[in-house]
Amino acid sequence: MAKPPLSMKPTGWFQVAWSDEIGVGDVRTMKYFDQELVAWRADSGRITVMNAYCEHLGAHLGYGGKVVGEVLQCPFHGWQWNQQGRNVCIPYQEHPNRGRRIRTYPVVERNDSVYLWHDVARREPYFDAPDVFAAFGDGSSAADYYPQQRLYRRSLELHPQYVLENGVDFAHFKFVHNTPIVPVFTRHDFGDAVSYVDFTITFEGDDGQRIEDVNSGVQAVNGGLGIAVTKSWGMVDNRTISAITPVDEFTSDVRFMVYIGRPGAGAGSDPARVERKAREFGQEVIRQFTQDIEIWQHQRYSDPPALATAEYEGFTAIRTWAKQFYAEQCYEEG
């Protein structure tokens, strides 16, 4: 296995599920950042992600644990744990154990996803998980798009940073995605935990065209290493979310989501056909992403890399930016 020299426990927001995978009353087991976790949804609809083991005698709450109103009840002796991980009831004793707490994680639900904040130093979230609509400040919303199309690949040998580095890697588009010409980056803003990359790109025409004449492109917003959202312009209206979450020291789960814009009023008299076309285009966007995955899952992180002159600035910027998410790795997990 190609264990990446980069830490698999970076700080930030990471997707751990889709919202519709965890209904009210559901308890779902998962493993991320080398931790056994459970996610459960209370009657109020609120979701909690916590370490999986009961602080009493260590039962795994994901195997028989039950949601009771707003708490999770352990299958072993019925102790109940609230959304802060506090013990609130021992059924055979008057007082709960107020001292013991199961570790919980900050969670947000956004764009049909469940995002978890991971930080080995246990700081509170200090940046926001990007929203595929709000991030672009254009007043758009899910109502303007067909339902999300999804790709889910489990436990691949790749690191989240590989995926982010695509955002400066102009040279791969021609070879991996068969674009006719090399795209040009028009914005690289790595000043903050949330970073911005824009580029001009086309998937059409031949290699005789000039990039200056291309009228289409992509804007990307990276919320740390875990979540990147994109918006296209000048081509079929699409938005994407890529979300890469470390599972253990070797592998990550990859989730990729595509939204295709609904046509404006009056356009197209055959809604079923328009929707089918949108579906096909979404699948094409997903197919292009799988071309990247094929590279990433067999890649070995090269550090320092051998770079062409034109690559130096972008790769240096993104790798310097990425370092902030590996800070304070000496804290113990638990």
Residues near ligand FES, by CB under 6 A: 54, 56-59, 74, 76-77, 79
What tokens does 45 get? Answer: 């609809």
Out of ligand FES, Fe ion, none, what residue 292 binds, judged by CB under 5 to 8 A for its kind, is: Fe ion
In whole angstroms, give the CA distance from residue 333 to residue 281.
43
C-beta closer to ligand FES: residue 57 or 211: 57
Neighbours of 270 (CB within 10 A): 9
Q: Which is nearer to ligand FES, 54 or 129 (CB)?
A: 54
| Closer CB to ligand FES, 75 or 180, in the complex | 75
The listed partner (ligand FES, Fe ion, none) that binds 31, CB under 5 to 8 Å by sort, is none
Task: Classify the phi-psi angles of 6: left when phi > 0, otherwise alpha if psi is within -120 to 50, otherwise beta.
Answer: beta
Element (H, E) at 101: none
Select the binding partner of residue 77 from ligand FES, Fe ion, none (C-beta < 5 to 8 A, by kind): ligand FES
| Binding partner at 2 among Fe ion, ligand FES, none, C-beta below 5 to 8 Å by kind | none
In whole angstroms, the minimum distance from the beta carbon of 168 to Fe ion comes to 11
Q: Burial of 252 by CB count in 10 Å (0-12 exposed, 13-18 middle, 19+ buried)?
A: buried
- DSSP letter for 192, please: S
In angstroms, the CA 149 to CA 283 distance is 8
CB of 99 to ligand FES, least distance (A): 15
Least Å distance, CB 221 to Fe ion, is: 16
Burial 191-204 (b: 16+ CB within 10 A, else e): eebbbbbbbbbbee
Do strands 66-68 and 80-81 pair parallel, antiparallel, or not at all (unpaired)?
unpaired
Nearest distance in Å: CB 332, ligand FES:
23
Question: By C-beta, is 55 or 169 nearer to ligand FES?
Answer: 55
Question: What are the residues binding Fe ion (CB under 5 A)?
Answer: 166, 292
Q: Which does 79 bind (CB under 5 to 8 A by kind): Fe ion, ligand FES, none?
A: ligand FES
Answer with the entry of ligand FES, Fe ion, none that 166 interacts with (C-beta below 5 to 8 A by kind): Fe ion
Closest CA to 112 of 21, 225, 203: 21
Rounded to 10 degrees, the C-alpha dihedral 177/13/4/173 comes to: 10
| Amino acid letter, 289 | F
**Smallest gap from residue 76 Cβ to ligand FES (A):** 4
Residue number, 89 or 327, with CB nearest to ligand FES: 89
- Closer to ligand FES by CB, 77 or 273: give it: 77
